[in-house]
Chain A
Amino acid sequence: MIGGDIFVSLAARSVRLHLLRSLLAALGIVIGVIAITTLGIMGANLTLSVTESLSRSANVITITPYTGGGRGFGPGGGGDSSANLNITQSQLQEITQVAGANRVIPIYSGSDRITVGSRQGRASITGVKPDTVSDLLTVQEGTFLKGGDSALVGATLADDFSLKIGSRIKLGDTSSNVTPKMIRVVGILQQQGASFSINTDRAIVVTDKWYTAAYGGEGQYSQVQIIVDNLNQIGTITNNTDRKLNRNAKLPAVRISNPSQFLSTITTTLGSITSFITMLGAISLVVAAVSIFNVMVMSVSERVREIGILRSIGTRKSEIRKMFLYEAVIIGFIGAGIGALLSVVSGYLTVLAIVGNTTYFFTPASMIYIPQGMFIGIATCVLSGVYPAWRAADLDPIEALRAE
């Protein structure tokens, strides 16, 4: 209907004849659309890449001894503070019952001084059964634990101490008379980043046998992880574990971290950040709207006489309104189209610069911001054109003809 309307071509002609003014108005929309789309895309990519890396470990339920206060989320952290609080062998059995077919992995952890060559430092030490390592961690280089004094090291730790496969690490106080404990690096772990599982980027992973031989405390685990095969079971298993182990609600025995709640909190938070960022983009669109409004009002004021002529030779009010609205629509489409094209480029560069990961750039969740931005741009343009169009149509033709 609109396509065949002669007033569209009249409006297009008017856009062409007032080229500079039309381009200025379109430029406002271009900038507005680029801003809102780029920021939207950036937010989406940020959310996608963070949640994806978290989701990789989202099937893990972590059970740690209850320490009273709000210890926060961070299993695998300071082993010293909870040295006297452990998951016992009997609790582990109960957990295994609740977990059913899902894998249950008890973990020892603590920390110790380490010496590599002449360099000294501190690292967290994690002890696990060799056959469970592949469930928990990914080896970047080398092999999994082989038993004995073999050890895996986190990527960050390996970097800091220039550790390679075959490097030897001394554990414990080297100045004392006690014979230092030695381990041999057989594998370097993949960088983890944000994770719900134990964080091993700065850790040394050894076998459970080696750990208890070195530090004692056999059967007293600092945490137990359940790897849930079906994500839908996470809630049930969490609740069952809670019922079984925390019989006394006033004095719970363990803390159970359910990653899905945390994941949704993070997603929600990232969502708010994204909306906030997009709001910043919207401000630029408001500025664009004001500038288009200004251009359109100016356009009407400048063309009062022309409108008077058009009215006097028989142009209806509704037709004047249409002409001005179509002009706004045409400017909106041109501006939004150019803006969309440019925002693919600027969006990509922004994501590259700020998120540093463009894997998700061409996914629907990220690309959706382009049509969305275009739509908002066009809508802004049309809305800004409504009042001027109305004003133009309602001019008194006699008064308008007198205008200079």
Chain B
Amino acid sequence: MSDGPVISLADVTKVYHMPAEDVVALDHVTLEIARGDFIAIMGPSGSGKSTLLNQIGCLDRPTSGDVIINGRSIQEMNDNELTDMRRDTIGYIFQTFNLITLLTAYENVEYPLILRYKTRAERERILALLQTVGIDEALAHHTPGELSGGQQQRVAIARALVNNPDILLCDEPTGNLDSKTGTQIMEMLRRLNKQGKTIIMVTHDTRIAEYAQRTITIRDGRIA
């Protein structure tokens, strides 16, 4: 698994069957993303950028066409294989953080490790990881409700990183943050990209998109 693109989309079409009519969210999209890329996907609301991210994130399957991740076709994987791909290869960072509210920051980060190794993780590893995203041990034992937005997003990034994925998918990662905090988060993503993570980020903020090496604009389900 080396030189080829880490992600490639071949003629991907996604159609949502609605009661009134069929909605074409992605219309024959072909795209290659190399290892270590930092890509921003831009476009107006409803243009299909989130749908694109969900296909790459193995949360959804295209109606036709195929997505190849690390050489594996998502059309050929069953639900468990897709789930394991999300767990081991992909880290998802959401606009609304999506932390589990009843669990502490520590427990949230520990969760994907438990899912992968079916055992409680070493405490030190989790705390060290939280330290690198700027969450100290005292904060680690708070629940998300007790943390600020920026802190929650840091925890979410730590959770995305805990299984050491190749790919980070970010859906409006700064959308719910003030600009200062947003900048800190983007600096962190840039650092991660430098360390070799492939990052694909959906945003409609051009200032945020500037952190990326490449910007792809989507309009009406097509790459513009």
What is A's interface to B at a CB cutoff of 8 Å?
A: 5-6, 10, 14, 17-18, 305-306, 308-319, 397-398, 401
Bound together, the chains give a CA A319 to CA B120 distance in angstroms of 16
- B78 to chain A minimum Cβ distance, whole angstroms, is 10
| A312 and B98 contacting across the interface, CB-CB below 8 Å | yes
Chain B: interface size category: 20 to 34
| A313 and B159 contacting across the interface, CB-CB below 8 Å | yes
| B59 and A314 contacting across the interface, CB-CB below 8 Å | no
Q: Which residues of A contact B79 (CB under 8 A)?
A: 316-317
| B112 and A6 contacting across the interface, CB-CB below 8 Å | no
| B98 and A401 contacting across the interface, CB-CB below 8 Å | yes
Q: Which residues of A contact B59 (CB under 8 A)?
A: 311-312, 397-398
Q: Which residues of A contact B102 (CB under 8 A)?
A: 14, 17-18
Q: How many A-B residue pairs have CB under 8 A?
A: 61
| A315 and B83 contacting across the interface, CB-CB below 8 Å | yes
| Sample of 9 A–B contacts (CB below 8 Å) | A5-B118, A18-B102, A308-B98, A312-B98, A314-B87, A314-B88, A315-B87, A318-B80, A398-B60
Closest partner residue, chain B, to A308 (CB atom): B98
Bound together, the chains give a CA A140 to CA B54 distance in angstroms of 90
Known contacts A6-B120, A306-B100, A309-B98; is A314 also within 8 Å of B112 by CB? yes
B205 proximal to A (CB < 8 A): no
Q: Which residues of B contact A306 (CB under 8 A)?
A: 100-101
Given contacts A17-B103, A311-B83, A316-B84, 13 further A-B contacts (CB under 8 A): A5-B118, A6-B118, A10-B114, A14-B102, A306-B100, A306-B101, A309-B100, A312-B57, A312-B98, A313-B92, A314-B83, A314-B86, A398-B54
Q: Which residues of B contact A317 (CB under 8 A)?
A: 79-80, 83
Top 6 A-B residue pairs of the complex, sorted by shortest distance between their CB atoms: A314-B87, A17-B102, A314-B86, A316-B83, A309-B98, A6-B118
Per-residue A-contact encoding for B51-66, CB less than 8 Å = 1, 0 else: 0001001011000000
Known contacts A397-B59, A398-B54; is A314 also within 8 Å of B84 by CB? yes
B115 proximal to A (CB < 8 A): yes
Bound together, the chains give a CA A148 to CA B83 distance in angstroms of 99
Closest partner residue, chain A, to B160 (CB atom): A313
The residue among A306, A314, A401 with the most chain B CB atoms within 10 A of its own CB is: A314
- B206 to chain A minimum Cβ distance, whole angstroms, is 26
Q: Which residues of B contact A14 (CB under 8 A)?
A: 102
B211 proximal to A (CB < 8 A): no
Q: Which residues of A contact B57 (CB under 8 A)?
A: 312
B72 proximal to A (CB < 8 A): no
Q: Which residues of A contact B112 (CB under 8 A)?
A: 313-314
| B119 and A6 contacting across the interface, CB-CB below 8 Å | yes
| A313 and B87 contacting across the interface, CB-CB below 8 Å | yes
Bound together, the chains give a CA A108 to CA B99 distance in angstroms of 91
Closest partner residue, chain A, to B163 (CB atom): A314
B116 proximal to A (CB < 8 A): yes
Closest partner residue, chain A, to B120 (CB atom): A6
Closest partner residue, chain A, to B86 (CB atom): A314
Bound together, the chains give a CA A316 to CA B54 distance in angstroms of 17
Q: Which residues of B contact A398 (CB under 8 A)?
A: 54, 59-60
Q: Which residues of A contact B163 (CB under 8 A)?
A: 314
| B115 and A313 contacting across the interface, CB-CB below 8 Å | yes
| B60 and A312 contacting across the interface, CB-CB below 8 Å | no
Bound together, the chains give a CA A280 to CA B98 distance in angstroms of 47
- A392 to chain B minimum Cβ distance, whole angstroms, is 14
Q: Which of B125-166 contact A (CB under 8 A)?
A: 159, 163
Q: Which residues of B contact A318 (CB under 8 A)?
A: 80
Q: Which residues of B contact A312 (CB under 8 A)?
A: 57, 59, 86, 92, 98
Closest partner residue, chain A, to B98 (CB atom): A309
Q: Which residues of A contact B88 (CB under 8 A)?
A: 314
Q: Which of B38-84 contact A (CB under 8 A)?
A: 54, 57, 59-60, 79-80, 83-84
Bound together, the chains give a CA A293 to CA B23 distance in angstroms of 37
